[in-house]
Structure formats: structure tokens, C-alpha cells
Amino acid sequence: MVNSAVTDALKARLVEQAKAEGFVAIGFAPAADDPVRTRRLREWLDAGHHGTMGWMEDRAEVRQSPKSMWPEAQSVIALGMAYTPEHDPLALEAHPDKARISVYAQGRDYHDTVKKALKRLARWLVAEAEREGLSDVQLKVFVDTAPVMEKPLGQAAGLGWQGKHTNLVSRAHGSWLFLGAIYCTVPFAPDEQEVDHCGSCTDCQTACPTHAFPAPYKLDARRCISYLTIEHKGPIPDEFREAIGNRIYGCDDCLAVCPWNKFADSAAANRAFAAREDLLAPDLADLLVLDDAGFRAMFSGSPIKRIGRDRFVRNCLIAAGNSAEGKLKAPVEALTSDPDPVVAEAADWALSRLTAAL
Ligand code: B12
Ligand code: SF4
Ligand code: SF4
């Protein structure tokens, strides 16, 4: 039997240590199964809303609950690191010659930053638990890529609530939190679950350019610009090309319009996520000419590097086709003979759009 006075004291110190590691939100939840969460994940997958993200389906039984991944887990420690922007994420809407990169990808890759901080925190916890006489404490750390439902776990731990746009909204940090989780064998006292504060607001639902919400709290990823520009390989379906506008990597529209962001202060953001000067408002003309080496050099340390040059240039071509900018015609035309057939097809489309518009 673990002494709760010991775990409570350890929990209080862990909260302070998490802050020292740059986390602005931390909460604790039991590692218990939740039939509602499990059912909703199943419904989402059965509706095919995950599109070609087969990895969501492959490990659904593991993803649905901490216990199904790791029966020994007792607690979930949910953590949030802020990336609140200093600028208006929608500012480039009326500048079709510029490329819009979503806020989360304008600075350093959060996978690296959050994972490193989680690992340091985990090492601290094991050492301190031992010092308190808790033997054989085990834990696992996660950010994004593991089969873990970080948003509902974050809500269960009191970090915020899943808004109608499906992301976790925090009363203090709005929509701008990266999430991470630690599963551990220490039975920490749980915090109170956060409740929904969306009320009658529908701002995120009406802001979506591709109508990706079949209903509040439900996202059809196949229609989401984030999915289409990052996860989706192959040609972007015609029906979404115009609506994508000049968004070349991810999308912030449903997050940016959320009224809770007025409480978010960019001073709380981790400096690693501050926008790189060259990614705030890059010229499409400069991005269209990137070859493989140029792409890798430009996006080293950035989450953008993972989509590779071909998918990136494909996205830039969709934006160029929407731009009606004469100066983009030459670089677009050069790409019609690109060795990658998806790039060449997007270039044909963009060229015909530019020709019709000019
Ligand atoms: C797959 C994925 C995507 C997919 C699908 C998104 C989605 N909504 O599922 C795509 C590629 C589209 C995507 C996009 C983005 N993503 Co993403 N993504 C993930 C990932 C890997 C898994 C999410 C998941 O489990 N989806 C499955 C569905 C079933 O889960 P769900 O959204 O929680 O669904 C719940 C609701 O629908 C709810 N529900 C259903 N019906 C009802 C009814 C009622 C009444 C209620 C109340 C609730 C409810 O219950 C479901 C289960 O909890 C997580 C990381 C992780 N491991 O958790 C990051 C993650 C969610 N992504 C993140 C981010 C930042 C983004 C983008 C903002 C990036 C960008 N700027 O382009 C966009 C946002 C788009 C959006 N509006 O969601 C962050 C979100 C942080 C936060 N504060 O919430 C995460 C947590 C990564 C991280 N570690 O920080 N993402
Ligand atoms: S990220 Fe953009 S495309 Fe995706 S749901 Fe939000 S507003 Fe719609
Ligand atoms: S925009 Fe409105 S409905 Fe959407 S998450 Fe924010 S408060 Fe909720």
C-alpha cells in the first residue's frame, strides 16, 4: 500500500518541477478505462474520418485506454507547453503571393522540445520517488506519435476541455498548447476533470474553409487542411484545392477564432516555438524553386521536414494556383516537367488556373 501523504508531497513537487521544465499546465488523471472515450474513438474510425491515417486504426485497442497499452499504469500525468503566437495567425489571408504556415510549425519541432522536457521530468520523478522510498517506479513518456489519446486525457486531468473544434482549450492558454503525457505506476491523487466552456459559441465551426466538422466535436480529417497538406500523400482532391487558399502547411483557422484565446499570453510560450523570421511570411516564389537539398537545409529542426520536398512543393503549387499572381507563372511552368508525377500534376493545375486568371 502506497502512503498517500508521500505521493501527495511528491505530486506537489512534481508540479513545480514541470513548471521549471517549461510546462505551463499539468494535471493528474487515473489510468482507468473510459467507455465513452473508447466508443467515440471507435465511431470516428468506423465513419472513416481518419482517412489514410491507417496507424490510427492499426492500434486502436491500445490507443483507447492507458490500461490497454500498459496494465500496470496507475496514473496519467498530462502536460501542456504553450506556443501562443505573438502575431495574428490569420494575417496573411489577403496576401496570396505569401505562403501561410501554421503557427505550430513556424518554430522548432515540438516533438523534440516536448519529448526532451518530458524525459528530464521523468528522470527527476524516478529519482525523487526512490528518495521517498517508493521502489520500482516505472513510467512511459509520450508526445503525439504514440497510440495515446492526449486530448481526452488532458481533459480528464483538468488541463482544459475538448472544444467544438475537437482540440483542447485551456482557460489560461486558449487553443495554443502542445500536449504530452506520462503514464506511471505511482497512484497519484487525480485532479478534477475540466468541463466544457464552449456554450453557444460556434465560431470555429463556421470558420472552417473546407467544412470539416460534420457536427460540433467531430472532425472529418479527410476534409481538414491540416490532414490534406501534411498527412495526405498523392494529389489533393480537386474539391478542396480552392478552399486551401495559401495555406501550405497545416491550418489554424478554427483555433485562431476561438474567443478563449484572448486570455492567452504569448509571454507564456516556450521560446523554442517562436516563429522563425523566414517562416512568418515567406514568398511562394522562393519556396516553389526548392530542390531536395534546399528543402532539407531550410527545414532542418522544423516539423515541416517530415513531409519531404515533393509534398511541400505540391502544397505550394496549390497556393500558387489560387494566387492569380503573374510572377509565379514561370516557376510553376518549370514544375510541369517535375520527375514527381504528383508535383507535375499540381503544376499543370496551377498553370491552368494562373492562365485563366491573368
Ligand atoms: C490524428 C491527429 C490529427 C488529425 C486528426 C485530428 C483530430 N481531431 O482527431 C489531423 C491531421 C487532422 C490533425 C490536425 C491538427 N492537429 Co493533430 N493530432 C492527431 C493525434 C495524433 C491523434 C488525435 C486523435 O486521437 N484523434 C482521434 C479522434 C477520435 O479523437 P478526438 O479528436 O479526441 O475525438 C474526440 C471528440 O471527437 C469527442 N467527441 C466526439 N463526439 C462528441 C460529442 C460530444 C457531445 C462531445 C462533448 C465530444 C465528442 O470524443 C472523441 C474522443 O475523445 C494527436 C496526438 C495524440 N496522440 O493524441 C494530435 C493533436 C491532437 N494535434 C494537435 C494539433 C496542434 C493539430 C493542429 C492544430 C495542427 C495544425 N495547426 O494544423 C490541427 C487541428 C485540427 C483540428 N481541428 O483538430 C495537438 C492538439 C493540442 C491541443 N491543444 O488539443 C495534438 C494533441 C498533438 C500534441 N501532442 O500536441 N491532427
Ligand atoms: S484546421 Fe482548418 S481545415 Fe482543419 S478543421 Fe480547423 S479550420 Fe478546418
Ligand atoms: S471557437 Fe467557440 S465553439 Fe469553438 S472551441 Fe472555441 S469556444 Fe468552443
Regarding whether 125 and 158 lie in a shared domain, the answer is yes
Cell triple for residue 330?
514561370
Whether residue 244 sits in one domain with residue 215: yes
Residue 30: φ, ψ to 5° = -70, 150
Query: Mean pLDDT throughout 137-152?
Result: 96
The answer, yes or no, to whether any atom of ligand 1 lies below 6 A from the CB of 73, is: no
User: Pocket around ligand 3: residues whose beta carbon is below 6 Å from it?
Assistant: 163-165, 169, 198, 201-204, 257-260
Q: Considering 184, 219, 248, which residue would you say is the last residue of a domain?
A: 184
C-alpha cell at 214: 460534420
Find the helix packing angle between 341-357 and 308-321, rounded to 10°. 10
191 inside domain: no
For the stretch 253-282, pLDDT in tens is 999 999 999 999 999 999 999 999 999 999
Name the pLDDT band for 135 (thresholds 50, 70, 90). Answer: confident
Is residue 121 domain-resident?
A: yes
C-alpha cell at 338: 517535375
pLDDT, residue 185, reads 97
Of 201, 211, 216, give the one whose Cα is nearest residue 165: 216
User: According to the model, what pLDDT value does residue 2 have?
Assistant: 76
Output the nine-digit C-alpha cell for 169: 482549450
Give the Å distance between the CA of 62 and the centre of ligand 2: 27
Atom of ligand 3 nearest to the CA of 258: 1
Residue closest to 42 by CA, chosen among 27, 16, 60, 68: 60
- Co-location of 259 and 156 in the same domain: no
Catalytic residue flag (residue 8) = no
- Same domain? For 169 and 280 the reply is no
Q: What is the secondary structure of 35-54 as a DSSP string?
A: HHHHHHHHHHHHTTTTTT-H
Q: How far is the CA of 212 from the centre of ligand 3 (A)?
A: 15
Q: pLDDT at residue 222 above 80?
A: yes
In a domain, 100, yes or no: no
Q: Average pLDDT in the 320-334 region?
A: 98
Backbone angles phi, psi at 139, to 5 degrees: -155, 160
pLDDT of 358: 85
Whether 160 and 259 map to the same domain: the answer is no
Of 131, 152, 184, the position where a domain reaches its end is: 184
Please give the distance, rounded to the nearest whole angstrom, from the Cα atom of residue 255 to the centre of ligand 3: 8
> What SS3 state is found at 101?
strand
Ligand 2 contact, 169 CB (< 6 A) = no
Task: Tell me: do 18 and 111 sit in the same domain.
Answer: yes
Check if 222 has its Cβ closer than 6 Å to any atom of ligand 1.
no
16 with 131, same domain?
yes
| Residue among 40, 61, 220 to mutate when testing ligand 1 (max atoms within 8 A of CB) | 40
Q: Which ligand is closest to the CA of 156, given by its number?
A: 1
Residue 310 pLDDT more than 70? yes
| 239 plus 167 within the same structural domain | no
pLDDT of residue 34: 95
* Ligand 1 site, residue 333, Cβ cutoff 6 A: no
Q: What's the CA gap between 156 and 171, in Å, rounded?
A: 15
Which residue, 99, 41, 104, is CA-closest to 68? Answer: 41
Q: Is the CB of 103 under 6 A from ligand 2?
A: no
Residue 217 sits in the same domain as residue 178: no
**Contact in structure between 174 and 84 (CB atoms under 8 Å):** yes
Q: Is residue 224 part of a domain?
A: yes
**Do residue 287 and residue 341 come from a single domain?**
yes
Q: If you measure from the C-alpha of residue 331 to the centroid of ligand 1, how many angstroms do you get, rounded to a whole number?
A: 36
Strand 177-184 relative to strand 75-82: parallel, antiparallel, unpaired? antiparallel
Mean model confidence pLDDT for the chain? 97
Residue 212 included in any domain:
yes
Q: Which ligand is nearest to the CA of 155?
A: 1
> 294 alpha carbon to ligand 1 midpoint, in Å?
32
Rounded-to-integer distance, Cα 173 and Cα 88, Å: 15
Under 8 Å CB-to-CB from 168, ≥6 apart: which residues? 80, 150, 151, 154, 155, 159, 160, 161, 162, 177, 179
Considering 144, 203, 338, 340, which one is annotated as catalytic?
Answer: 144
253 alpha carbon – ligand 2 mean position (Å): 6
Domain count, the chain: 2
Q: What is the domain range of residue 26?
A: 4-94+107-184
Q: Is residue 192 part of a domain?
A: no
Whether residue 252 lies inside any domain: the answer is yes
Reading the block at residue 189, the C-alpha cell is 491523487
Residues 262 and 324 in one domain: yes
Q: Which bound ligand lies closest to the C-alpha atom of 230? A: 1
pLDDT digits (tens, 9 = 90+) for 84-134: 999 999 999 999 999 999 999 999 999 999 999 999 999 999 999 999 899
Dump pLDDT digits (tens) for 154-207. 999 999 999 999 999 999 999 999 999 999 999 999 999 999 999 999 999 999
Residue 297's pLDDT band (boundaries 50, 70, 90)?
very high
Ligand 1 close to Cβ of residue 203 (< 6 A): no
In a domain, 194, yes or no: no
Q: Quick one: 125 and 229 in the same domain?
A: no
Quick count: other Cβ atoms within 10 Å of Cβ 211? Answer: 12
Q: Judge contact between 56 and 149, C-beta under 8 A.
A: no
- Whether residue 241 has its Cβ less than 6 Å from ligand 1: no
pLDDT score of 309? 98
Task: Give the pTM.
Answer: 0.97
Residues in contact with 146: Cβ distance below 8 Å, sequence separation at least 6, in sequence order: none
CB of residue 329 inside a 6 A radius of ligand 1 = no
pLDDT at 215 over 80: yes
Q: What is the pLDDT of residue 3?
A: 82
**Residue 29: strand, helix, or coil:** strand
Atom of ligand 2 nearest to the CA of 252: 1
